[in-house]
Amino acid sequence: MAVLKVLVVDDEPGIRSGVTRILRDFHVTYPFMDEDYNFEILEAPTGEDGITVIERDKPDIVLLDNKLPGIQGVEVLEYIRERKYDIVVAMITSYASLDVAIRATRDGATDFIPKPFTPQELKSSIENITKQLYLKRITHKLNQDGKKVRYQFLSVLSHELKAPLNALEGYLRMMQEKQAGDRIDDYATHIDRSLQRIQGMRNLIMDLLDFTKIRLERKEEKIQEVNLAEIATGAIVTVQPYAIQMDVSINLEVRTDVVIMADPGDMEIVFNNLISNAVKYNKFGGKADITIDSSDTDAIMIFSDTGIGITKTDSENLFSEFVRIKNEKTRNISGSGLGLSIVKKVVELYHGTIKVESTPDVGTTFTIRLPKKPINIS
């Protein structure tokens, strides 16, 4: 049960006590609200007193008579609006004055309650106001949460971009100051490491481009028939140079030819990331097996490797942005930690599922299922 404070500003004592009596035992409930609302009533006989109560008690709702002995209702309304208080104001008006109505609406009054009112009229106004207030606050909260997530992302990203720049700067300064000697050969490791950091940064930027692509590009005309085996073959070719370095053999088994409706770019992202992970986190001389299959309803893609594996605890956050598992085995492997988060977004876009099974030091299997039936992607 949540309590909303209602301030009644009216010079007629009968109105104030009437409102208090009617709303005392009233409560508002809607199926979509988390909790019921009831009301605590505050009273003020003048606009000046009203402002004092507003400052002191921070009411949620103000019922405001326009004709008051000192300052007028609309001036109290202006006071509230100028300070951007999170208060819903309803005007109580004894006569329908278009003038006042226009001014009050412009200044942010949400409702008008004609005087005299029946208990039912007051209750239904309060019910409306409560619903509006709830929606306004929940929207505000959702916006704030969204902002927070975006800024967290940017803050991690800035850090990820700054680290390689700092490293590069350090190596260049060492060379500038000739710290290791006069000959270029004295700096072979510095140059190697610099190039590695540049490559890492480039990979991060490529992942970011994929990331924004998933978020921004969504054009219906890109959806077409996609043969998953073709996409897999293309991805294997891309990863091959790296697989040769790691002496990892990549095998593709196509159990059934699967054609789904998709943006081919999206499927490339999925295969490129999972195959490159299967190679990257493998052992020297290991294997990566890719299987394409289908059930009655789903296209099935399985990515199995004989690599370093993932512990149960580590696998919990695996699909979040920038998550990389840090241990002895992954220390020298570079990456952005964005790949799996991007893959997950793609899979969700197609109403599919992704799951991971792994045994440390034995290997890891990622299984993706996408519904074959054409779906609406937007």
Please give the residue ranges that form the binding site for Mg ion (CB under 5 A). 277, 335, 339
The pair phi, psi for residue 338, each rounded to 5°, is: -100, -25
Phi, psi of 300 (to 5 degrees): -120, 130
> Closest approach of Cβ 182 to Mg ion, in Å?
41
Which residue's Cβ lies closest to ligand ADP? 335
Select 286 or 339, whichever has its Cβ closest to Mg ion: 339
Is the Cβ–Cβ distance between 89 and 80 less than 8 Å?
yes
Is residue 364 within 8 A of residue 304, CB to CB? The reply is yes
306 binds, options ligand ADP, Mg ion, none, Cβ within 5 to 8 A by partner type? none
Minimum separation from the CB atom of position 247 to ligand ADP (A): 16
Judged by beta carbon, residue 84 or residue 331, the one nearer ligand ADP is 331
Q: Which is nearer to ligand ADP, 44 or 310 (CB)?
A: 310
**CB of 346: closest distance to ligand ADP in angstroms?**
13
The Cα-based distances of 50 to 12, 42, 116, 191 in angstroms read 14, 9, 21, 72
Least distance CB 347 / ligand ADP (angstroms): 13
Specify the residue, 26 or 322, whose C-beta has the smaller distance to ligand ADP: 322
Residues 7, 10, 12, 18, CA torsion sign: negative
Among Mg ion, ligand ADP, none, what binds residue 278 when CB lies within 5 to 8 Å by partner kind? ligand ADP
- Closest CB to Mg ion among 130 and 277? 277
For the bound state, the minimum distance from the C-beta of residue 274 to ligand ADP, rounded and expressed in Å, comes to 7
Residue 318 partner contact from ligand ADP, Mg ion, none using kind-dependent CB cut-offs of 5 to 8 Å: ligand ADP
Three-state SS string over 173-197 comes to: HHHHCCCCCCCHHHHHHHHHHHHHH
**What residue is closest to Mg ion based on CB?**
339
What's at 151, amino acid-wise? Y
Distance CA 167, CA 178 (A): 17
Q: Which two tokens stand for residue 150?
A: 């975006």
Nearer to ligand ADP, 174 or 208 (CB): 208
**What are the structure tokens assigned to 306, written together?**
């004989």
CB crowding 28-59: b at 16 or more within 10 Å, else e: beeeeeeeebbbebbbbbbbebbbebbeeeeb
Residue 240 interacts with, from ligand ADP, Mg ion, none (CB under 5-8 Å by kind): none
User: By the criterion CB under 6 A, which residues form the site for ligand ADP?
Assistant: 273, 277-278, 281, 305, 307-310, 318, 323-325, 330, 335-341, 364
CB 283 to ligand ADP: min, Å: 10
